[in-house]
């Protein structure tokens, strides 16, 4: 009962904050002329989205940050009273919540710099790929280093296998996983409502898994994230009135990583983040095949959501199908944890 009330309150509060912020932020972004510039290489029908405000991710970033900080502080002060003999290691869990939030915010800042550069230069190119990667690896390294300093070990939990200590390789693998997932989430943001919808279902999955471990703080953070994404979708669902921009998508990438690492199970990013991964894999395969065949394409366009657009799928259908896939694989992840941990 306590779990349901706590997580529902966090999700509902974040939803309201995110949705209401859109009422004020979108007109303000219009006033500043912070509009999206559409690339010529994209689907031709996306040209009518030219000028749609970007940086809308600030809506859910604000909601998630505010609700997570408040709920975690209350959790630290009253957590044991709420969950009785089943309480988790609240100090450790709270540390991972705050460092995870820092990971998400730092990636969001990289996205903000990228978006702001695009707006100032009036083109769809902000930071270079190498600049982004360097900054993202620095952020990932800082996140892992802070956790290590505060005593977070190099063990990871794998369903049906138990704890595995990767030693020094934990940091190398984790940095690559974090940067890879952050960019995968970023690539998924190409159709109205897609990234927000997929992340909503991903966060619901993490919320249920956190509840299984009686991790009330993490459950509240995941619920707030799901609620904030839902509030944003009011404004971002097709036809979108605002885009999250790299500000939002890079933040969400850091967020899903933070939730997985806080549960000591980054392996869960494989099933829960299956759509993100397929999006990035489609780009890698497209580029590789193009180079190997000297100009031939494996997909009509990448990332893969554009391929389905070119096949005649509507944006709404793409969002529905990709979200359903995420929901199914999220359920698979929960089952793996429920029966295998």
pLDDT in tens, 51-64: 788 899 999 999 99
Q: Write out pLDDT tens, residues 283-312.
A: 999 999 999 998 899 999 999 999 999 999
Share of the chain above pLDDT 70, in %: 89
In a domain, 275, yes or no: no
Upstream peptide bond of 239 is cis (omega within 30 degrees of 0): yes
Number of domains within the chain: 1
Q: H or E stretch including 162? A: strand 162-165
Q: What is the mean pLDDT of the segment spanning 105-116?
A: 95
Q: What is the pLDDT of residue 125?
A: 66
Residue 208 maps to a domain:
yes
- Using one digit for the tens of pLDDT, what is the confidence trace for 123-141? 666 788 899 999 999 999 9
Question: Does 310 reside within a domain?
Answer: no
Structural domain includes residue 31? yes
Number of C-beta neighbours around residue 125 at 10 A: 11
User: If pLDDT is split at 50, 70 and 90, which confidence band does 84 have?
Assistant: very low
State residue 3's pLDDT score. 61
Q: Are 242 and 234 in contact (CB under 8 A)?
A: no
Mean pLDDT of 18-37: 86
Residue 329, domain member (yes or no):
no
CA atoms within 13 Å, Cβ hemisphere of 101: 25
Mind giving me the DSSP string for 287-305? Answer: HHHHHHTTS--SSSSSSHH
Strands (E), 57-161: 155-158
Give whole-number Cα distances, 255 to 8, 179, 273, in Å.
19, 12, 12
Average the pLDDT over 311-334 and give the result: 97
- Helix (H) or strand (E) holding 318, with range, is helix 315-340
Answer whether residue 245 is part of any domain: yes
State how far the Cα of 245 lies from the Cα of 312, in Å rounded to an integer: 25
Structure-token pair, residue 23: 């009422």
Residue 165 β-bridge partners? 155
Residue 294 in domain: no
Q: Which residues are CB-contacts of 105 (< 8 A; sequence separation ≥ 6)?
A: 61, 65, 251, 254
Q: How confident is the model at residue 77 (pLDDT cuts 50, 70, 90)?
A: confident
| Residue 80 exposure: Cα atoms within 13 Å on the Cβ side | 4
Higher-confidence residue of 173 and 38: namely 173
Residue 249 belongs to domain spanning: 2-267
Res 44: pLDDT: 53
The count of C-alpha atoms lying within 13 angstroms of the C-alpha of 151, restricted to the half-sphere facing its C-beta, is 5
pLDDT higher than threshold 90 for residue 40 = no
Residue 137, pLDDT score:
98
């Amino acid at each position: 009962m306590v779990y349901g009330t706590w997580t529902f309150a966090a999700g509902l509060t974040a939803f309201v904050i995110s949705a209401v912020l859109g009422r004020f932020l979108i007109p303000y972004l219009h006033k500043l002329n912070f509009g999206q510039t559409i690339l010529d290489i994209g689907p031709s029908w996306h040209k009518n989205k030219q000028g749609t405000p970007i940086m809308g991710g600030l809506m859910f970033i604000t909601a998630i940050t505010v609700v997570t900080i408040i709920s975690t502080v209350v959790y630290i002060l009253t957590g044991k009273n709420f969950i009785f003999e089943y309480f988790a290691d609240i100090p450790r869990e709270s540390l991972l919540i705050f460092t995870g939030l820092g990971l998400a915010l730092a990636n969001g800042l990289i996205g903000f710099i990228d978006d702001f550069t695009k707006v100032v230069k009036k083109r769809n190119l902000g930071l270079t790929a190498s600049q982004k990667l360097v900054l993202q690896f620095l952020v990932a390294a800082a996140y892992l280093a802070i956790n290590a300093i505060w005593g977070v070990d190099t063990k990871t939990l794998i369903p049906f296998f138990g704890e595995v200590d990767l030693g020094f390789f934990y940091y190398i693998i984790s940095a690559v996983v974090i940067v890879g997932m952050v960019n995968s989430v970023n690539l998924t943001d190409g159709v109205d409502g897609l990234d927000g919808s997929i992340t909503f279902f991903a966060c619901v999955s993490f919320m249920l898994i956190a509840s299984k471990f009686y991790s009330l703080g993490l459950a509240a953070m995941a619920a707030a994230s799901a609620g904030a994404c839902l509030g944003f979708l009011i404004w971002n669902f097709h036809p979108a009135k605002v885009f999250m921009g790299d500000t939002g998508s890079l933040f969400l990438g850091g967020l899903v990583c933070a939730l997985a690492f806080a549960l000591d199970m980054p392996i869960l990013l494989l099933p829960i983040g299956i759509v993100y991964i397929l999006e990035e894999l489609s780009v890698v395969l497209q580029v590789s095949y193009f180079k190997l065949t000297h100009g031939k394409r494996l997909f009509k366009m990448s990332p893969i959501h554009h391929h389905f657009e070119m096949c005649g799928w509507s944006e709404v259908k793409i969002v529905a199908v990709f979200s359903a896939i995420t929901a199914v694989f999220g359920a698979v992840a929960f089952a793996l944890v429920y029966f295998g941990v």
